[in-house]
Homo-oligomer: A and B are copies of this chain.
C-alpha cells in the first residue's frame, strides 16, 4: 500500500498562511520584507519547529527546515518554493510548495521512514520581486547567481534596502547563502496556466522552463490629418504596430512551444482624427527551446527591418532575456512513474512562468511538479486549485522524495 500525506494539516496550514497578511478589505499581500512577510515567516517557522526540524536562516533571509534523522548524511534532498506574495494575491502560489514539503516530511516521519540523506524544506526570499528587484532573488543568491551584498543593497521605491528590511523583520540570518547545496531540488507549484485544466490531468511533470525575451519597441511614423491624408501617403505608426502584433502572434503560433504577447501599447499623439506618429509597445516572447526563441527574436527583427525599409524609424530595447532551463529528465520520469503508480493522469509540460527551481537548477538536478490552476488564473485572489489536486500533487512529491532520499523503513516503525 502506498501511503500518502495527511490531508487536513496541509489544507489547514494553506488557509492559515493565506489569512496572514490580509488588509482591512481582505486583500492578501505578503510582499517580501514587510510586516506581513514577517508574520508569515513566523508562522512557517512555528510549524517547521513543531515537526522537529532544525531551522536555519541565511543572510538573504531564506528559511530552511532541515530534517536530518540518524543515518542521514550528505547533500540534502531539497523541497522549496516561496511564501512571499504579489499584492492582492491568491493563497497557493509558492505557499503550496513549501507547505507540501513540510507535509512530505511529516508523512515520512509518520510512516517511520529514515532517509539516507537529509531532507530540507526551503522558503526562498522575494520570489515575486514586487518590492525589490530582481525576482527569484533568494534562490538566485543561494545558487551563486547574484552577489549577496548586491542583493541586500536592492532598494524599494522608498529607498529602503532589502538588507534593512530583512533586519527589521528579524530575518537577516547568519548562514552564508549556498551553505546547503542540494543533492536534488524539487518544487511543487500550481501551474498558473490553463494547460492541465484543459487536459483534465491532475499532475504535470515539468521538464523545462521557457526562455524569456522581453523587448520595448518604439515605432515612429508621421502624424497627419486622418481625413486629408490619402492612404498611399501615410506613415501610420499605429498600423505598423498592429502589423508587428499580428506578426509576433502568428509567428508564435507557427513556432513549436512558442508564445508571444503584446501587453502594453500607447499611441501618440492619441487623437481620433490624427494618424499616430508614434507607437510604443512591449513584446514578451517565450520558448522552452533557445534555438526557437532566438528564431522568434530574429523573425521579429527581420519584420522590423521590413518596416524600416518602408520609412518607419524603429528603436528596440531589451528589457529581459533569460535562456530556457532544462530540468532533470530522470526526476521528471520519476514524477511520471509516481503518477502512474497512483493512477493519476500526468503529462510532461513546460513552465511558462519563472520559479525558484530555475535558479536551483544551476547547482543541482532539479524538477517541478504542477497541479491545475482553475482557469489558469494566478497572481489574483481568484487563484484556485481543487483540494483533491492539492493532495494528489503532494502525494507525488512524497513519492519522489521518498525515492530520491533513499528512504528505508525504520526498524523502529
Stretch at the interface among A24-32, A45-53, A219-227: A219-227
Q: Is the CB of A225 within 8 A of B192?
A: yes
A43 sits at the interface (CB 8 A): no
**Copies in the assembly, this chain:** 2
Question: Contact at B264–A272, with CB atoms within 8 Å?
Answer: yes
Please tell me if A14 contacts chain B, counting CB pairs below 8 Å.
no
A132 on interface, CB distance cutoff 8 Å: no
Interface hit among A242-250, A306-314, A393-401: A242-250
Q: Knowing A246-B243, A265-B267, say if A228 contacts B274 (CB, 8 Å).
A: no
CB of B228 within 8 A of CB of A238, answer no
Within 8 A of B (CB), among A246-295: 246, 249, 252-253, 258-267, 270-276, 282, 284, 286
Cβ B238 vs Cβ A262 within 8 A = yes
Interface size on A, residues (CB 8 A): 59
Q: Does A353 contact B (CB under 8 A)?
A: yes
In the bound complex, do residue A263 and residue B267 qualify as a contact, i.e. CB atoms below 8 Å apart?
yes
Query: Is A239's CB within 8 Å of the partner chain B?
Result: yes
Q: Judge whether A85 is part of the interface by a CB distance below 8 angstroms.
A: no
* Complex interface residues of chain A between 186 and 221 (CB less than 8 A to chain B): 191-195, 198, 210, 212, 214
* In contact, B246 and A227 (Cβ under 8 angstroms): no
> Which A residues have a C-beta under 8 Å from some C-beta of B?
191-195, 198, 210, 212, 214, 224-233, 236, 238-239, 241-243, 245-246, 249, 252-253, 258-267, 270-276, 282, 284, 286, 319, 351-354, 376-379
Subset of 8 A-B contacts with CB under 8 Å: A193-B228, A210-B227, A228-B376, A229-B259, A236-B249, A243-B246, A262-B267, A263-B270
Q: Besides the contacts A193-B228, A262-B276, A263-B267, what 15 more A-B pairs have beta carbons closer than 8 Å?
A: A194-B224, A194-B228, A214-B272, A226-B259, A227-B259, A228-B376, A229-B352, A236-B249, A238-B245, A242-B243, A243-B246, A261-B272, A261-B274, A263-B273, A265-B265
